[in-house]
């Protein structure tokens, strides 16, 4: 209950902030910020695709997964930072609406899970020496990565199609 109240007051603060207002009241700022959200999406998706194809043994076999991870790491971390920053700005324009938007909520659940997973178990397996980790386990780890990040992307795409009812924005005693 207190968490819902805290989240809703944070959303109200974002909504009435100068950057939330500024982007919302501008004709071109929202699409401009969304361009960066989509560029980040492409680069992040690309780095994950390279690493997961390597883990699945379907590509990039000329290099070990850990060497590939070293090469793509700055792009992965940089694009993730771009997604989080641009996403927060997009969110701030309609934060209260996002509070009641079930697609946004699922997106954030998938996003938190995908980030924790990518920087813990996934990174451990990617950096492990070839042959030390069973091939089947590398395949499972790659498939879970694809599923988690696809969940984030689908949630992001669905946001615009979900209408937010007034009742979903209130703090009910349910």
List of residues contacting ligand HEM (CB under 6 A): 34, 37, 41, 44, 80, 83-84, 87-88, 90-91, 111, 152-153, 156-157, 159-160
Which C-beta is closer to ligand HEM: that of 73 or that of 128? 73
Instruction: Please give the C-alpha separations between residue 124 and each of 26, 69, 129, 130, in angstroms, as whole numbers.
Output: 44, 11, 10, 12
Which C-beta is closer to ligand HEM: that of 54 or that of 156? 156
Which C-beta is closer to ligand HEM: that of 82 or that of 133? 82
Which contacts qualify for 14-23: CB closer than 8 Å, 24 or more apart? 14/91, 14/92, 14/95, 15/92, 15/93, 15/94, 15/95, 15/96, 17/92, 19/89, 19/92, 20/92, 20/93, 20/95, 23/89, 23/90, 23/92, 23/93
Check residue 131 and give left, alpha or beta (phi > 0: left; psi -120 to 50: alpha). Answer: left
CB of 97 to ligand HEM, least distance (A): 9
Which C-beta is closer to ligand HEM: that of 31 or that of 131? 31
CB of 62 to ligand HEM, least distance (A): 28
CB of 28 to ligand HEM, least distance (A): 15
CB of 142 to ligand HEM, least distance (A): 17
CB of 172 to ligand HEM, least distance (A): 24
- Of 82, 83, 80, 101, the residue nearest 11 (C-alpha): 101
Which C-beta is closer to ligand HEM: that of 91 or that of 122? 91
């Amino acid at each position: 209950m207190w968490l819902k109240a805290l989240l809703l007051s944070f959303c109200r603060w974002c909504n009435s902030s100068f950057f939330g207002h500024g982007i919302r009241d501008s004709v071109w700022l929202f699409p401009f910020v969304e361009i960066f959200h989509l560029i980040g999406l492409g680069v992040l998706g690309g780095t994950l695709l390279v690493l997961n194809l390597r883990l699945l043994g379907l590509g990039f076999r000329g290099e070990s997964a850990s060497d590939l991870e070293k090469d793509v790491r700055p792009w992965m971390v940089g694009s993730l930072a771009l997604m989080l920053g641009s996403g927060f700005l997009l969110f701030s324009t309609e934060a209260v609406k996002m509070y009641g938007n079930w697609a946004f909520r699922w997106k954030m659940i998938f996003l938190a899970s995908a980030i924790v997973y990518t920087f813990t178990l996934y990174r451990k397996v990617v950096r492990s020496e070839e042959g030390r980790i069973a091939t089947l386990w590398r395949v499972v780890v790659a498939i879970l990565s694809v599923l988690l990040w696809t969940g984030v992307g689908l949630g992001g795409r669905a946001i615009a199609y979900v209408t937010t009812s007034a009742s979903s924005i209130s703090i009910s005693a349910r």
